[in-house]
Amino acid sequence: MQTATVFTPIQLQLLQMFSHKTNETELREVQSLLSEYFAKKVEDAIDDLWEKGQWDNEQNENVLKEHLRTPYIHG
């Protein structure tokens, strides 16, 4: 039995906006715009935490030292 894919409102809006044929350049431009949008949201959230005293330089340093790569298991 197949389960239906449930799209979020933003996904539906993007599907409607880009229902026409696009080229590789347009795809890269949209990817860049979306990346910039979400990066700005993260930056604003961190700025808010900083202003509230919930984030500091020590936490910045800890994040920079964090190893986030996926470990690969060699068999």
Q: From CA 6, how far away is CA 15, in angstroms rounded? A: 13
For residue 23, tell me if it sits in a domain: no
Residue 22: pLDDT band with limits 50, 70, 90: confident
For residue 54, tell me if it sits in a domain: yes
Cβ-based burial of 55 (10 A; exposed 0-12, middle 13-18, buried ≥19):
middle
For residue 10, tell me if it sits in a domain: no
More confident residue, 22 or 1: 22
Residue 61: pLDDT band with limits 50, 70, 90: very high
Domain that holds residue 65: 40-69
State how many domains the chain has: 1
Instruction: Find out whether 35 and 41 touch, Cβ atoms under 8 Å.
Output: no
Region 57-63 average pLDDT: 92
Which stretch of DSSP H or E encloses residue 31?
A: helix 24-51
* Cα dihedral 18, 19, 25, 30 in deg (nearest 10): 20
